[in-house]
Amino acid sequence: MTLFLDTNICLDLLDTSRPTSSLSVDWYLSHKDDTTITFHFTADAITTIYYILTERRRVDPLRVVEAIDALSVEIIPYYLTSSDFVMAKQSYYEKRLDDFEDLMVLHSAVRAGSAMFATNDLTIGNLGQFETMRIETIR
């Protein structure tokens, strides 16, 4: 099963000072050894993660690169494509969700064949389902 992690979950795994971090870490640790699951996250979030950790949290840039590298071993980066943009744009115009960036990631997760999308974003979580993919809110 392919399971896609929202960027906020990945940030929680790397920054334990975040309020939702302990829930995300506990959830991930309870699933990570399940050999039937392949974890993905949007590779396009790597720059966001780097920026937040180095500029806002003031973590040493080398440590951040090493942490992202280690994360990418267990949670495989999945890159956005132009088709994700096209699908997200259509969903945005249809008002399926008012956050275009989230729609890009959700469509990418669907394209990856994800059965589930894990997030701690309640707006995304309230969807419950997106296309063929179940959404689980970690709270």
pLDDT one-digit tens code per residue, 42-95:
999 999 999 999 999 999 999 999 999 999 999 999 999 999 999 999 999 999
Mean pLDDT for the chain?
97
In which domain, by residue range, is 118 found? 2-80+108-137
Number of domains in the chain: 1
Residue 98 lies in a domain: no
Residue 100 lies in a domain: no
Using a 10 angstrom Cβ sphere, with 0-12 exposed, 13-18 middle and 19 or more buried, the burial of residue 95 is exposed
Residue 86 lies in a domain: no
Residue 19 lies in a domain: yes
